[in-house]
A and B are shown apart, each in its own frame.
Chain A
Amino acid sequence: MGEKTDVWQGTLALMVLKTLEAMGPQHGYGIARRIEQTSGGRLLVNYGTLYPALLKLEQEGAIAAEWGVSENNRKAKFYRLTRAGRKQLAKEAQDWERATAILARFLAPEGGGS
């Protein structure tokens, strides 16, 4: 537990936000499937861990939830991005890109830089 989860939850939150931006309101199962598909099946994770992440985003006000009906007529809880969530997504995506860019430079073959 501890920090590992936090790191994972942080990236998971970003994936959830991006998924909701791309797909519009979606239920938990849909979000999980979408993340799995986007990652090309390389992210193997229990779907169960998604729900605490959703709850955390909801508590923070980045997403809102309401009960609705799914495409095949099942009652399900749908999540959608709020305005605060959009701002958070933009900021976190930027942070993430910056961080990966820095890491990429570190990991680039030596002699490449000045």
Chain B
Amino acid sequence: MRRARAGMRRLAGLFGRKRRERELSAELESHLALHIEENLRAGMTAEEARRQALIKLGGMEQAKELYREQRGIAWLETLWLDLRYAARTLRRSAGFTSVAILTLALGIGATTAIFSVVYGALLRPLPYANASRLVWISGHFRAMPFLHNLAGADYFSIQHSVDAFSSLGAMTNSGVALRIGNESRWLPAARFGRGVFKTLGAQPLLGRKFLSREYQQGGDQEVLLSYSLWQQRFAGEASVLGRTVLVNLKPYTVVGVMPPRFDFPSHDTQLWMPLVLPRAATSDYAPDLDLHAVARLKPGASLAHAQAELNALGERRLKTSFGKVTLRGESLRTNLVGSYRLPLVILLAAVGLLLLISCAGVANLLLARLSVRERETALRAALGATRGRVFRQLLTESLLLGVVGGAAGVVLAVFGAGALHSLLPADLAHLAPASLNLPVLLFALGVSIGSAVLFGVAPAIFSLRTNPGEALQGAQRGAVGASSAARHRARSGLVATEVALATILAVGGLLLFRSLLRLENVSPGFRTRNVLMFRAFLPPEKYKTPVEQREFYNTLLGRLRALPGVRSAAFDAILPFTGWGQAIFDIKGRDYPKGQQPRADMFQVSPGYFQTMGMPLLRGRTFRASDAATSQPVVVIDQKLAMAYWPNQDPIGQEIYDGEWTTIVGVVGHVRFLDLATDPGPELYLPLDQARAHVWGGGFVLHTSVKPESLDLAIRSLVAQLDPDVPLLDLMTLEGRISDTLSDRRLQTLLLGLFAALALVLTAVGIAGVISYTVSQRTREMGLRMALGAEPSEVFRLVLRGMLGVVGLGLLAGLAGALALTRFLESVLFGVGRWDPASFAGTAAVVLAVAFLASYLPARRAAKVDPAVALRQE
């Protein structure tokens, strides 16, 4: 009660400050007057009476300060005063303030921009109810590293026997041709089995989900649209419900539209249809079915618990045609973010180092200013400010700097995040929107305050060590006191820290840059210039048999070859750098146990393929038009396959079994078809006309004599003429495609390089600052040395030598740190070791060069000192 009343009074004490101040002065004045009168009566002189009364009071201002602390809510009032004072001080020294704010803005801005992506990818809640309980289930095979499918039978046994899930649904992922008006378009689509909507807790924005009967054979005639498709193709009109659209030339009724953020299973899925999964589903794996499952953990069940059950299930599963299957459950987030997690964490750590450097830079500036402000703080102390009060004042100033720098940083981050967003891979960009949302802004505020404490505390502590008496006597310039020497050591330490951190960033940047260079210079084994490629999607309803499909491809191929500007054209079922397919085969005369048979990546190509791609024929022949369905089956193998199975033999004429006995007729060079970084296993080529499997999205490669992009329209109209129901997709140049596969890496290298460059600039500013200060402090000494006969170049060397020690120390620490930290980069490096000597040596050279340049100008000023002027300076 008493405390509450006192609290209210104190709150009231914040107001009417002027009146209260007057009253306080009046009360203390009357106190003094009473005391003086009594002293006078006791026989003191007037002066002595006043002096004794003041001593007894403990000083007028000191008494007032004590009183004020009790009066209002001291810290709030103090904060306000300090803030106003800090703002005035900062405005007065505009040079210092703008350098400090710019430094902070760079650090905080870069950190915020990177964090906005990290937040979007790793922390932002997914748009599903209780999304952390969702599990993505896939099948994995040791022999087929790229295949992650489930078989229908797996799905049913998970549904039947895994106890950890409260609900479960299966889905497939594939593209479809959507006919709108006269145009046929290929769109990424998914089929959802019963239970997927329930598991996700998802509802359409408009219309309804699928009904139970629609998951049954013959009932799947309904389609849900994505929000963006609805907006772009159907003008966002509600009347779209009930409309009939042609999906793969079959009529489907639009029953609903999903919300904007619904992006399951992929960021670009545009259509959803019911998945009919009969009980008697296949027990083997169908790569083109692409079946997966999503499940929700029961309350109380953990992912580990579910994984244990999945493991047990995988153990019981009989051998499949791809060997043993491992069923894997991972959180939906892990599945979505997957391989981006490590690069993101690396970038966040790198930008954190940059932030530390900018904090060290600002701390350095503050320390330099401290010597200028020594007298001011001493005066404040003499006027009754307690040490805590001075400390708080300095910290408030840092906070203000931090918050203003942070605000400027957020402005930079808005632009940075926008630019960054446009460079992100599409799926990551979809997860992390470009706008800075509330959590990201809160993060920026937290980082600003944290930075302020980080860079503000050390200088504030140093200010406490100042001896007011000494400082007020106007400590002669050039006389270096103990506290000043300690400050100089602290500043050197900060510069060394900056150098060390910048060195670590530079090593990382150089390692990535050299990896990228190495990678860009890798030859994939085929021609990359002037190659255009695309796929044609044949709606399965219209092109039911492999024969019909091949007929279309051959007709199209004939017309493509006749197109002006095309040197040669060929068919390739799977385009380079877009996918893969594998085959398991036997070799005549050899016996391999089941599961250990030879494997190869398999391609179906037309005659002219090797010529179009510029792949060398090493032995035998390539395919001919006469390699038809009715003639002797033939294959071409690559050098790697030849070396692996016929190391001392001529493979030509050997026979392998892949459904039927086939003769090897040629050996071509090995190629990297997945991406430049991966050296794939052996490769096997079948002629298009002899392949028996369905190919609905066959690819074409064209070697052109003109700029490949210029053929875009001609090809589109050619295909539309041939069959308007066949949409094109993935039309692009091979160079463009290769560049796309490097874009993640390029972005990462660009960002790390940018951070390293910024770090070096900030460090250079720090070095130049310290040197300038040293020079100005030691002008007199320099003058004396020169007056005593030292050459200007000696003075120059003296200044540089001092800095060299500091930089060298920082460089060594940084290189040592990099030796340890590059461990985390190892998995993203290519062609260079993590202790790559060239990167380390290059970094050392760059850091030393930057340090020399940053020292050179201020040091030269020292050498130009006129001894007469310097000595007269006092």
Give A residues with C-beta under 8 Å from B. Answer: 1, 27-30, 32-33, 46-49, 51-53, 55-56, 58-61, 70, 72, 74-77, 88
Contact of B31 among A27, A55, A59 (CB under 8 A): A27
- Give me 20 other A-B pairs in contact (C-beta within 8 A), A47-B57, A48-B63 excluded: A1-B388, A29-B31, A29-B35, A46-B57, A47-B31, A48-B57, A48-B62, A49-B66, A51-B24, A51-B27, A52-B70, A53-B70, A55-B67, A58-B9, A59-B6, A59-B9, A61-B5, A77-B27, A77-B30, A88-B2
Q: Are B5 and A60 in contact (CB under 8 A)?
A: yes
For B20, the closest partner residue in chain A by CB is: A55
17 contacts between A and B (CB under 8 A): A29-B31, A29-B34, A29-B35, A33-B38, A46-B56, A48-B66, A51-B24, A51-B67, A52-B66, A53-B70, A56-B70, A59-B5, A59-B13, A60-B2, A70-B34, A75-B26, A76-B30
Cβ of B33 under 8 Å from chain A: yes
Also in contact, A56 and B6, with CB within 8 A (given A46-B57, A74-B33): yes
Give Cα distance in the complex from A59 to B5, angstroms: 7
Tell me whether B58 is interfacial, beta carbon within 8 Å.
yes
CB nearest to B6 among chain A residues: A59
B37 at interface, CB cutoff 8 A: yes
Provided the pairs A29-B35, A46-B58, A52-B70 are in contact, do residues A59 and B10 lie with their beta carbons within 8 angstroms? Answer: yes
Q: B53: nearest residue on chain A (CB-CB)? A: A47
How distant is the Cα of A88 from the Cα of B38 in the complex, in angstroms? 32
A-B contacts, CB under 8 A, total = 81
Tell me if B46 counts as interface (CB < 8 A to partner A).
no
- Given the complex of chains A and B, what is the CA–CA distance between A56 and B68 in angstroms? 11
Taking CB as reference atom, which chain A residue is nearest B28? A51
Chain B residues with CB under 8 Å of A75's CB are 26, 30
Complex: chain B residue closest to A75, CB-CB:
B30
Taken together as a complex, chains A and B put the C-alpha atoms of A48 and B63 apart, in Å, by: 5
Hey, which chain A residues are within 8 Å of B62, CB to CB?
48
- Chain B residues, Cβ within 8 Å of A33: 38
Return chain B residues, CB-CB under 8 Å to A30: 34
Docked complex Cα distance between A23 and B31 (Å): 18
Mask of B65-83 contacts with A, CB within 8 angstroms, 1/0: 0110111000000000000
Establish whether residues A28 and B67, one from each chain, have CB atoms under 8 Å apart when the complex forms: no
Contacts of A58 in B (CB 8 A): 9
Bound: A47/B27 CA distance, A:
13
CA–CA, A59 to B1, complex, Å? 12
Determine the distance from Cα of A32 to Cα of B27 in the docked complex, in whole angstroms.
Answer: 14
B27 touches A76 (CB 8 A): yes
Q: How far is the CA of A77 from the CA of B13 in the complex (A)?
A: 18
Query: Shortest CB–CB separation between residue B398 and chain A, in angstroms?
Result: 22
Closest to A28 in B: B31
B60 — nearest CB in chain A belongs to which residue? A48
CB of A25 to closest CB in B, whole Å: 15
CB-CB under 8 A from B388, the residues of chain A are 1
List the A residue with the shortest CB-CB distance to B10.
Answer: A59
Indicate whether B59 reaches chain A with its CB closer than 8 angstroms: yes
B37's contact among A47, A60, A72, by CB below 8 Å, is which? A72
A55 touches B71 (CB 8 A): yes
Beyond A29-B34, A76-B30, is A51–B2 a contact (Cβ under 8 Å)? no
- Most chain A CB within 10 A, of B28, B34, B71, is at B34
> Lowest 9 A-B CB distances belong to which pairs?
A46-B58, A48-B63, A48-B58, A52-B70, A59-B9, A29-B34, A59-B6, A76-B30, A29-B31
Q: Which residue of B lies closest to A48 (CB)?
A: B63
The residue of chain B having its C-beta at the shortest distance from the C-beta of A1 within the complex is: B388
User: Which residues on the A side are within 8 Å of B10 (C-beta)?
Assistant: 59
Q: Which of B26-54 contact A (CB under 8 A)?
A: 26-28, 30-31, 33-35, 37-38
Least Cβ distance of A28 to chain B in Å? 5
A27 and B34 contact, CB distance less than 8 A: yes
CB distance from A12 to the nearest CB of B (A): 12
A55 CA to B64 CA, complexed, in Å: 12
How far, in whole Å, are A70 and B31 apart by their CA atoms in the complex? 11
| Cα distance, A34 to B3, chains bound together (Å) | 28
Could you tell me the distance in whole angstroms from the C-beta of B25 to the nearest C-beta in chain A?
A: 11
Contacts of A32 in B (CB 8 A): 31
What 0/1 pattern do residues 318 to 336 of B give for CB contact below 8 A with A? 0000000000000000000
A47: chain B residues within 8 A (beta carbon): 31, 35, 56-58, 63
Chain B residue contacts of A60, Cβ below 8 A:
2-3, 5-6
Which residue from chain B places its CB closest to the CB of A71 in the assembled complex? B34
Give every chain B residue within 8 A of A72 (Cβ-Cβ): 34, 37
Q: Which residues of A contact B67 (CB under 8 A)?
A: 48, 51-52, 55
Bound complex: CA A43 to CA B619 (Å) = 111
Provide the bound-state CA to CA distance between A88 and B30, in Å: 28
Q: Which of A27, A48, A61 has the most CB of B within 10 A?
A: A48
Complex contacts, A28 vs chain B, CB 8 Å = 27, 31
Q: How far is the CA of A106 from the CA of B707 in the complex (A)?
A: 102
- Considering the complex, give the chain B residue whose CB is closest to the CB of A76: B30
**Closest Cβ–Cβ distance, residue A2 to chain B (whole Å):** 11
On chain A, the residues within 8 Å of B27 by CB distance are 28, 51, 76-77
Q: Which residue of A lies closest to B30 (CB)?
A: A76
- A53 to B637: give the CA distance in the assembly, Å: 97
What's the minimum C-beta distance from A86 to chain B, rounded to whole angstroms?
14
- Chain B residues near A77 (CB-CB < 8 A): 23, 26-27, 30
A64 CA / B56 CA spacing, docked (Å):
25
A53 to chain B, nearest CB (A): 8
Measured CA separation A53–B71 after assembly (Å): 10
Query: Interface centre among B9, B10, B33, B70, by most A CB within 10 Å?
Result: B70
Chain A's closest residue to B55 (CB) is A46
- Pick the contact of A48: B3, B59, B71 (CB < 8 A): B59
Asked, given contacts A46-B56, A61-B5, whether A27 binds B66 with beta carbons under 8 Å apart, the answer is no
Instruction: List chain B residues, Cβ under 8 A from A1.
Output: 388
Closest Cβ–Cβ distance, residue B822 to chain A (whole Å): 48
A70 to B26 CA separation, bound complex (whole angstroms): 14
Q: How far is the CA of A30 from the CA of B38 in the complex (A)?
A: 11
Among B30, B38, B69, find the residue whose CB has the most chain A CB atoms closer than 10 A.
B30
Alpha-carbon distance between A55 and B68 when the two chains are bound, in angstroms: 10
- When chains A and B are docked, how far (Å) is the Cα of A51 from the Cα of B71? 10
How distant is B225 from chain A, measured CB to nearest CB, in Å?
A: 68
* A47 shortest CB reach to chain B, Å: 5
What's the Cα separation between A59 and B38 when bound, in Å? Answer: 30
- Tell me whether B30 and A74 are in contact (CB under 8 A): yes
